[in-house]
Chains A and B, each alone.
Chain A
């Protein structure tokens, strides 16, 4: 691992001042520390954001606001999440292990990198790791790769379960950019397809930071399911997953949401929303 400096600013303003191009924000570390061990990420400075950003779930004006530093396990056990957006709690519990869920943050879940084996194998070409080198998975070991929205530059998938539920429920991502202005990115626009820049997973502007996620008031708390098909029953990434939610009124389906996971470069690609 390349040596790096370490700092832990106490406020968002100080975080943004500390952010330089060679620096990277550290939240739970469950993905970034691993990437650093494999030399896929080699920041010159780490900025620990764990005390500067919110670790609270709040109900504000009907919206459920999940702070960027809320740990995955805290989402799953939060009473407001369970009553307002139980689909989110179910999706979180379908991912990773209890130890990792105790560490991993909400913001970090969105920003985690693909688990494509070639992305992690630095001896093979990978357009996501090293733009322009080619895609080894395209004709390689790709049974867990994308089946929609891919191109010949990249067939990687986004591995998150949480994000699939957030896509189904029309969440929005609250971001503070490098100029310290707050911007809101709709969840469906946050991640991107590989296009000509598979090295970029999402539309988060350079040096910006996710501060929280909003889930709008929704009628889907009663009827929902998160189904995940994988190689073993627990602690495995999805071959495919689906977040499904129904709004049933008077015995009729008034509204339905379906979002897929584990099949595309962005979670919820092919998300269907329909109103009667």
Chain B
């Protein structure tokens, strides 16, 4: 059986931690998975932050899957590991921390900021962030402190039961383990491995060394490894001189490679670890692994590593330290004695030993059965979407979805549409907010995303927290360019296409969608779990381009027409009311008039049809911009069909729109661009059993039935006119294909849609 583990991977992305102790510890623990017999039964998913640099290729290989959000439907069980809970915001992962069915574990390094607030939490923001992390740290089921000292502080601070703690220690990097049989004779220096942080306290070692005339006389140097800024080095040299030291005997070694550091350990007469406070002491373990005697300050995390109290000193007591260094450095038998006492210290901290402790406890944690709660409840869904009266087809679609969804689940709707309406049964909670994503009462969160400004809040929350997402549009170009920024649009398109995308490219795509190359769906697909699309063609694009999976749900007509409403007598009656002669062929194109909908081809198709002696009239059933109205009027006047084309320069009412769906004989729904785009209008035509001519790509994307006649995607007015003529020749324009329409709606209705939606979001 595969055990799924979600791992917070942000510390491996963050340059402040990736190459330091935190990153190295996490890397070593995860690497060990493949060395244990049960390693292959684990499936690790890293949750990453898109704002941070990407993982290195080597770190990517630690995981089986990478994700940008932590959203997980209720039905999927995993264990969760927080790799650095006190350094990165817990909020993007909060949903995992509140689910009762997910066992959670955290690696805990130290509470140094808590214990030294003036040094580490000097700003209010830092204090709030730290306290937030500390509060969320309570929610873990198991902890992996890196030392007994850290474990004790954890128990003191959060009242955690010691049985929920597994002290792992930190492993020595394999590159710092001793090479077989090589023991270098001491080279006459004392080593301090520190860093720029004041708590590392090199001062006590410098004072001890500078104050020792015996060490000076013997020419024993003090080497300080670690990145110390120039001014700090100057200050420490001053301290050394004031203590009486010879300047040439103090040396700083910034940026040592592992090989160089190992050489230092093996050649040093001793290593001094003078820190005032630590969560664990890596230098002690590294030094002992290389046969180097260690003298360490008596802070708790260091004291627990060294058994002999004589090897410890007070971090402010340079005199005691001076005497101990002199004893070890100038007296070979004493040095050998200390070395022998400490010889096995490091063996508890190999990758194998540390990994064994960690993975053993993780396995136990994963075996904890999920709480056996008889819910007896319906699933509870958070649904984020624009809603009517927002002038958006997506809003209408969501409204139509919510009714049947509320019949099967408890639905709480988050929408920022002013005066939003929801159908009976659904509950409008308020504006889209993180509450939807973080509150444990929701079994699933569904965000509705579209290529318009109405979706900004849903998009932002999706990026941060993840959720199931219904992507209504096959491309998000306008949203990225108009709502986000050109810079972000360029970056996303460059990533998608693997080449640099410039502003000119974006301008060209905006002006002519036929030239569009990028879908702008990658970020959404990465954040969504699952991504739901309505077109099999969109699914092919997403899977082909991004190597990400998605679910296809059928696009469902949301305007319904009773058979009676579209019967021949009812249509005749309506046409009489609209003053349409019986013999006149009404060709209608539904939706906002736009060049991408090939309105000129519609006009020319009418011209052809009329030239073929058919009394036809074309109605554009949707708002036409004034400039386009002027253009179309001029064009149709020039070719002699002005009196047979009807345009609206205003929004149509629902009644008007429906009337034309009933009264029309043939519909024309064309798109000049492809990429899997759908059309709500074509669904209306399908629902009204209105014979339609559509270009092949659009018809296939909408999985249209046979009464939607296909013309090639290179749209020709002649072929469109021929398709209209064939519909007339078949008599479909008079007798609508109700049987086929009913068969389509039997499969494509909101009740079925909602069943499938609940299944793909894990709430079936």
Q: Do A and B bind each other?
A: no
B residues whose Cβ falls under 8 Å from a Cβ of A:
none
